[in-house]
A and B are shown apart, each in its own frame.
Chain A
Amino acid sequence: MHEEIIMAGFGGQGIMSIGQLLAYSGMIKGLDVSWMPSYGPEMRGGTANCTVIVSDSRIASPLTSKPDSVIVMNLPSQDKFSPKVKEGGLVVTNSSLIDKEVEREDLEVIKVPANEIANELGNTRVANMIMLGAYLARKEIIDLDTVKESLTSVLPERHHDLIPLNEKALDRGFELVNEEVTV
């Protein structure tokens, strides 16, 4: 197993956190992992992205030019990263904020109304977890329980009261995809 994922969105959408959460969960499972953020000067309003690699063998480069999957939370990210996905790869897109179709026939696209579901749950900020949940339902590289267990280690302590909400958000994203598949 070797999975290369790029996650991208606005700064503040929690992109870096879900990347770290996935990498941490992979590590708990005994896999090799890497997490590489894009970094820029302290200027606001930009996009943020990170590359996560999870593998059962030694990871060479922590970068990827052809990811297996991308999780995109805003339009600029979808425009930038969906053309890079490997042939037949996966795009998990935030349909709450992106109403443009992915312009490639070969890709599998999962549309997740992440902001809407997050609002239903009472906090827009867990939209990222819904996206990750949806991704994990499709790509079973790590089980959901391990990811949930990892929340305590990855989230800063001041946000630990939000762990139940984050777990619920992961579940909602996960269920969304599973329902789609069975319907």
Chain B
Amino acid sequence: MKKIASYPDSLTEKHFHYCPGCTHGTVHRLIAEIMDELDIREETIGVAPVGCAVLAYEYFDCDMHEASHGRAPAVATGIKRVHPDKVVFTYQGDGDLASIGTAEIVHAANRGENITTVFINNAIYGMTGGQMAPTTLEGQKTTTSPYGRNLKEAGNPIKMTEMLSALDGPSYIARVSVHTPKHIRKAKKALKKAFQRQLDGRGFTLIEVLSTCPTNWGITPKDALNWLEEYMMPVYPLGDLKDIEEVE
């Protein structure tokens, strides 16, 4: 327990720029704790997305590589092929991974690329000021769905994690949340398992984390936690979606 309360070595001293109540910071901390616990800080190369976590390279105290919007899995592939013995992870938002970067994530997963992807689903584009994401819920108002997301015109909330689970490449895929301490503990377990799988050379792993964006949802941080539980969780059920020890 003592370890959790202390400040992870794998985080820099830099102050997060995230809004009050944003769960990006929570997930950063979990990843850093895992790097500490697995003692892989000096073995890890992270790939930062274009999204609110664009400055992730300022926070993770490991080697970091910036990618263009959505292409992190391709960049990570390049890194991993040069350094197959290193731990490589991508950290991506829902616009980054589930919209502009769909091709890259599908093919990295399908190749069973031995990397770990942390996928932050906050049902919106945070960085650019609250546009509709592919994960935006039905009826949810955003700056580009001002009358609420209309499924006939904008399609359904996309379930990337389920989609990717249908592929043969991935070794471990799960959806977690970080809106309560209990869920945070479970999220950490899943993330750690994913990194361990990579260390064991078992192939592609992805953890989707349901996350909040109080700023662009236009509600308080506390209401955001409730909103996540009440509206996001029914559409994006938590749990392990794919878990195979050996990828043939």
Contacts and interface: CB of A to CB of B under 8 A. Distances in A.
A43 B20 CA distance: 10
Interface string B128-158: 1110000000000000000000000000000
B166 interface: no
Contacts of A30: none
B20 A44 contact: yes
A42 interface: yes
Given A42-B128, A42-B129, A42-B216, 14 more contacts: A41-B127, A42-B52, A42-B126, A42-B127, A42-B130, A42-B215, A43-B17, A43-B18, A43-B19, A43-B52, A44-B19, A44-B20, A44-B215, A45-B19
- Interface size class of chain B, counting residues whose CB lies under 8 Å from the partner chain: 10 to 19
A45 B128 CA distance: 16
14 contacts: A41-B127, A42-B52, A42-B127, A42-B128, A42-B129, A42-B130, A42-B215, A42-B216, A43-B17, A43-B18, A43-B19, A44-B19, A44-B20, A45-B19
Contacts of B17: 43
A45 B215 CA distance: 11
A63 to B, nearest CB: 23
Contacts of A44: 19-20, 215
Nearest to A41: B127
B14 to A, nearest CB: 13
A60 B209 CA distance: 50
A38 to B, nearest CB: 15
